[in-house]
Structure 1
Amino acid sequence: MQNKALKNLKKLLPPFPGIQGKEEYINAAVLALLMSVNDEYHFLLQKRSPAISQGGEICFPGGKFDPRKDTSLRHTALRETHEELGIPAEKISILGQLDTLVVPLGKTIDTFVGTTDFAFTDLTPSFSEVDHAFTIPISFFQEHPPKVYSVLVKNHPSYINDKNETVNLLPVKELGLPAHYQKPWGSFRQRVFVYETNEGIIWGLTARILHDICVKLFPDSVN
């Protein structure tokens, strides 16, 4: 490689490194929205409609990036919040953004943190997606740290489909790779945070986001 080629490579390297292969993932955005209730900030959360995927689970408003509608992931978070809860974008002030969450199951989550003076009583949930909305004070999460569990994430070179047929994703033998790669490999343990609330269990990605925010707010009292 000549010096000229190296100079060209230097110009092509990103000034702000992102996530390699992000286009291969499902890219989604959520809004961790804070609302003042009785002079205390609360997180605005919602329980998903039982008729949709992950029905009955608690989450922040948000959804998949739609290139036909969205100019950015920030736009996705604001659009989905309006569609799901009826809060217009002009009633939301974005404070900033958390680090992008890369989920081993093939999804990235960009979380935006914001505040709103929109009244809770003026919410108009879309009941095709949202069973109901509710708020929980930030202090609850400071005083009630999550339980922490884990799941084991492995790489599977093949799987059995619904016809009981083996589908080879990675032709280990044909490529001459070591034989042990014919079986699932890896031993990555992903932490799973769980909060127990009066509204039900908050876990998974939503709990991880809540924990991340609380660690930033209360570094001395939250693990």
Structure 2
Amino acid sequence: MFDPTQLPVMSLAGEAAVAPARLSPTALRQRFAQTLAWDPEISTETDDRLAAPFRRAAVLIPLVERPEGVTVLLTRRTDHLTSHAGQVSFPGGRSEDYDSSPIETALRETEEEIGLSRHRIEIIGVLPDYATISAYRVTPVVALVAPPFTLQVDPGEVAEAFEVPLAWLMDGQHHQRREVNLPQGGSRAFYTMPYEQYFVWGATAAMLRNLFHFLRA
């Protein structure tokens, strides 16, 4: 495993920020109700060396309706986990046989991980599945969250939950591109979005990039 924070920034994505008028709750609902052409970015995390079949998973992209502007609710995983320890992620996880849909997976996992009741959550759409190097095919479920709400994080999985302004994340000037050389040869490029003391990268940053492209369409 490598430390992405120690790798140099190769470039910035650099696209103009999504217009503020497109980031209001009303505009977000309207955008997901539309069918517009747009191009998601292809995952560079997976390749033909993955022998195992993909397992299903889903995450929730919670967009919190704050008076000062919509924010994105994220979590930081605990440091003792065997995979992705300490990383910033969306609430979510592996689908179970009893889940009726990816949306149900995302809602169930969110309630289990951070105690956010589904009664405060309004599903507005889904983004394209994202395939990870750990052989998961993840469905990002986008939702608006209406305050007030109280979170109760599961200390076995989540160290903390925090919010980042959606407008900050939807600005290509904040999307860094870094690259790591792989032991087996070749390299892997990925996006990072450092915000204050938090370091957003990997699959979480990639799914935010797809939300960015979707809202710009």
Cross-structure match for 2:138: 109
- Provide the residue aligned with 2:71 in structure 1: 42
CA contact 1:87–1:118 (8 Å) conserved in 2: no
The amino acid that maps onto 2:189 is R
Tell me how large the CA RMSD over aligned residues is. 2.4
Deviation of residue 92 (structure 1)?
1.0
1:124 counterpart residue number: 152
- Give yes or no for the alignment of 1:133 onto 2:161: yes
Equivalent position SS for 1:194: strand
Matches within 5 A, 1:7-156: 24-52=53-81, 53-67=83-97, 69-120=98-149, 122-143=150-171, 144-150=173-179
CA distance in 1, matches of 2:136, 2:112: 21
Equivalent position SS for 2:154: coil
In structure 2, the CA distance between the partners of 1:28 and 1:207, relative to structure 1 (3 Å rule), is: same
Shift of 1:85: 1.1
Shift of 1:145: 2.4
Uncovered stretches (5+) of structure 2, i.e. residues with no partner: 1-51
Give CA-to-partner distance per residue, 1:3-60, whole Å, 9 cap, x none: xxxxxxxxxxxxxxxxxxxx92121110001002233100000111112132211000
Partner SS for 2:103: helix
Q: Give 1:104 deviation, angstroms.
A: 4.3
Aligned to 1:139, what secondary structure does the other structure show?
helix
- The whole-number CA distance in structure 2 between the counterparts of 1:209 and 1:129 is 21
Q: Which is richer in strand?
A: 1
CA drift at 1:151: 5.0
In 2, Cα distance between the equivalents of 1:27 and 1:152? 28
Larger radius of gyration: 1
Residues 104 and 153 in structure 1, CA contact (< 8 A), matched pair in contact too = no
- Post-superposition CA distance 1:125-174 (Å, at most 9, x none): 111111110100011123442111245789xxxxxxxxxxxxxxxxxxxx
Residues 192, 199 of structure 2: 8 Å contact kept? yes
1:213 Cα offset (Å): 0.8
User: Which deviates more, 69-78 or 27-36?
Assistant: 69-78
Measure, in 2, the Cα distance between the counterparts of 1:139 and 1:151: 28
- SS of corresponding position for 1:32: strand
How many aligned residue pairs are there?
165
- TM-score, length-scaled by structure 1: 0.66
Percent identical among aligned pairs is 27
Q: Structure 1, residues 88-120: CA drift from partner, whole Å, max 9, x if none?
A: 222211111101112244221111000111425
Runs of 4+ displaced beyond 3 Å: 150-154
Compute the displacement of 1:124 (Å).
Answer: 1.0
CA distance in 2, matches of 1:213, 1:117: 20
TM-score by length of 2: 0.68
Q: Secondary structure at the match of 1:87?
A: coil
Residue aligning to 2:213: 215
1:204 to 190, 202, 205: 202
CA contact (8 A) 1:193 1:208 kept: yes
